[in-house]
């Protein structure tokens, strides 16, 4: 069997892109050789050009399906990457139920999910199991899960729902296996209660999406990596057309829509990223449901103006400052009397130094401030009277007749 030539590779790569959208550059020559080798042997083709001609001439389309089955990658496993399913259970699903419950009160909550490029069905059944575990009783919900793939063989296997030991052990905990699968021969088959939640069909993402209906959540993981930039843009914009305005798109953990299309905006939850149509509310509000205008209307943050009346209470503060200062003003008022308080009230007593009693006056005068200002030392008061009476007698000491007269008066008072 000859190796593939550059011309043969170019023809086959172009043909493959036209039927399934998978873009293969010159570095993927080995992929065409290895994946189409079995067809070369089955149809006794001498060269890859011979195989190409037979496929193009087959009007039944069976050989074309075989090429698609051989080229497309069916690498998948249950709960692949884990984080998208945690995102689905703890963020997307609660927000979706909250929004749909408000939009359809009293009715079963509709949940419509599409798994694009579902391969052999592991992703679809992982979604169904996540719904069952998150919601428990499903009677209050109207759940529909659509799984599509371009490969007929993959869709057939997914619809049957039986997996071998190797496929089961990849990503499926034993507890989940025993709860949702039944042992059948050399493999395990999904239980009917989970199988009934999903529908499978063949679908080519390169074709128009007419008749697909609308979805709340779309899983399109690890498939667009095989598309050209233009095809990738077209596919995701078509997905945006069938997604509800507040719906969610989940793509592969290594994929990003940055620079691919402006039809989606990224949202982050924990370590996971998902996408919503551009302009969709980031909260839990369904299309048509009123945004939180009412919660914002009671923004009686105008209630802050009533704080303005509280401001007059602050003006009371300054008067308090004034009243505190006012006592300081009265203190200067007594200051005229304070000249008496200092121990220099001697000017009012100029005649006192003339008598020898001046030492007594000197001893008494220090007491006067204490008696006048504090009013505490009561003994000072009796001292003042005798001291002041002495000057009165001394004041007239120059006349002896007066002295005799005073003595006579005292004797008369004593005799009486």
- State residue 155's pLDDT score: 96
Instruction: Reduce the secondary structure of 7-37 to three states and give it as a string.
Output: HHHHHHHHHHHHHHCCCCCHHHHHHHHHHCH
Among residues 367, 368, 313, the alpha carbon closest in space to that of 337 is found at: 368
Whole-angstrom Cα distance, residue 411 to residue 416?
8
Classify each residue of 303-324 as buried b or exposed e, where b means 16 or more C-beta atoms within 10 Å of its C-beta. eeeeeeeeeeeeeeeeeeeeee
114 touches 149 (CB < 8 A)? no
Domain 83-294's class? alpha beta
Q: Among 106, 99, 105, 113, which residue's Cα sits nearest to residue 288?
A: 99
What is d(CA 285, CA 289) in angstroms, rounded to the nearest whole number? 6
Determine the number of helices (DSSP H) and then strands (DSSP E) in the chain: 20, 10
CATH of 6-71, picked from 1.10.10, 2.60.40, 1.10.155, 1.10.3470, is: 1.10.155
Backbone angle region of 30, left / alpha / beta, with phi > 0 → left and psi within -120 to 50 → alpha = alpha
Helix, strand or coil for residue 239?
helix
CA trace torsion 336, 342, 346, 348 (10° rounding): 20
Distant-in-sequence, close-in-space partners of 132: CB < 8 Å, separation ≥ 6: 138, 180, 193, 194, 197
pLDDT, tens digit, 9 for 90 and up, residues 203-237:
999 999 999 999 999 999 999 999 999 999 999 99
- Beta-carbon contacts of residue 286 (< 8 Å; ≥ 6 apart): 99, 100, 102, 103, 244, 246
Give SS3 for 98. helix
Residue closest to 67 by CA, chosen among 24, 27, 25, 26: 24
Per domain, the residue ranges of the chain are 6-71, 83-294, 350-411
Tens digit of each residue's pLDDT (9 = 90 or more) over 281-297:
665 433 333 333 333 33
What CA–CA distances, in Å, run from 303 to 307, 310, 312, 320, 326? 7, 12, 16, 28, 37
Q: Are strands 243-250 and 215-219 parallel, antiparallel or unpaired?
A: parallel
- One pLDDT digit (tens) per residue for the chain, 416 residues: 578 999 999 999 999 999 999 999 989 999 999 999 999 999 999 999 999 999 999 999 999 999 999 998 777 899 998 899 999 999 999 999 999 999 888 899 999 999 999 999 999 999 999 999 999 889 999 999 999 999 999 999 999 999 999 999 888 889 999 999 999 999 999 999 999 999 999 999 999 999 999 999 999 999 999 999 999 999 999 999 999 999 999 999 999 999 999 999 999 998 899 999 998 766 543 333 333 333 333 333 334 344 444 444 444 444 444 333 344 444 444 444 444 444 454 545 544 444 444 433 333 344 444 444 444 444 444 455 444 444 444 444 455 566 677 777 877 777 76
Q: Which residues contact 279 (CB under 8 A, 6 or more apart)?
A: 245, 265
Alpha-helical runs (H) found in 79-204: 83-87, 93-103, 122-135, 152-160, 165-169, 174-180, 192-195
| Number of CB atoms found within 10 A of residue 57's CB | 8
Q: What is the pTM of this model?
A: 0.67
């Amino acid at each position: 069997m000859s190796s593939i030539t550059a011309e043969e590779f170019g023809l086959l790569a172009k043909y493959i892109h036209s039927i399934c959208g998978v873009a293969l550059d010159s570095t993927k020559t080995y992929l065409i050789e290895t994946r189409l080798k079995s067809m070369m042997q089955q149809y006794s083709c001498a060269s890859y050009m011979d195989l190409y001609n037979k496929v193009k001439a087959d009007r039944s389309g069976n050989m074309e399906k075989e090429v698609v089955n051989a080229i497309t990658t069916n690498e998948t496993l249950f709960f692949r990457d884990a984080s998208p399913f945690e995102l689905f259970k703890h963020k997307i699903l609660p927000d979706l139920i909250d929004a749909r419950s408000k939009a359809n009160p009293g009715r079963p909550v509709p949940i419509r999910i599409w798994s694009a490029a579902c391969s052999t069905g592991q992703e679809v059944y992982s979604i169904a199991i996540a719904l069952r575990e998150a919601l428990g009783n499903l009677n209050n919900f109207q759940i529909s899960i659509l799984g599509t793939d371009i490969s007929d063989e993959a869709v057939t296997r997914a619809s049957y729902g039986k997996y071998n030991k190797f496929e089961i052990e990849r990503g499926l905990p034993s507890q989940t296996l025993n709860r949702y699968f039944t042992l059948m021969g050399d493999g395990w088959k999904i239980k009917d209660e989970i199988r009934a939640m999903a529908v499978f069909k063949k679908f080519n993402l390169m074709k128009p999406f007419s008749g697909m209906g609308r979805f709340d959540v779309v899983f399109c993981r690890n498939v667009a990596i095989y598309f050209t930039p233009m095809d990738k843009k077209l596919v995701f914009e078509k997905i945006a057309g069938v997604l509800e305005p507040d719906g969610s798109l989940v793509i592969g953990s290594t994929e990003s829509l940055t620079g691919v299309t402006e039809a989606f905006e990224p949202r982050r939850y924990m370590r996971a990223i998902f996408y919503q149509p551009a302009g969709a509310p980031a909260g839990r509000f369904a299309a048509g449901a009123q945004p939180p205008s009412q919660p914002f209307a009671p923004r009686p943050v105008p209630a802050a103006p009533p704080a303005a009346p509280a401001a007059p209470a602050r003006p009371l503060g300054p008067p308090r400052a004034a009243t505190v200062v006012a006592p300081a003003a009265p203190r200067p008022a007594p200051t005229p009397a304070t000249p008496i308080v200092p121990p220099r009230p001697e000017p009012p007593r100029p005649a006192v130094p003339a008598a020898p009693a001046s030492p007594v006056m000197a001893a008494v005068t220090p007491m006067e401030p204490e008696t006048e200002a504090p009013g505490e030392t009561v003994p000072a008061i009796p001292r003042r009277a005798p001291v002041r009476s002495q000057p009165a007698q001394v004041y007239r000491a120059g006349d002896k007749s007066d002295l005799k007269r005073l003595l006579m008066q005292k004797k008369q008072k004593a005799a009486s």
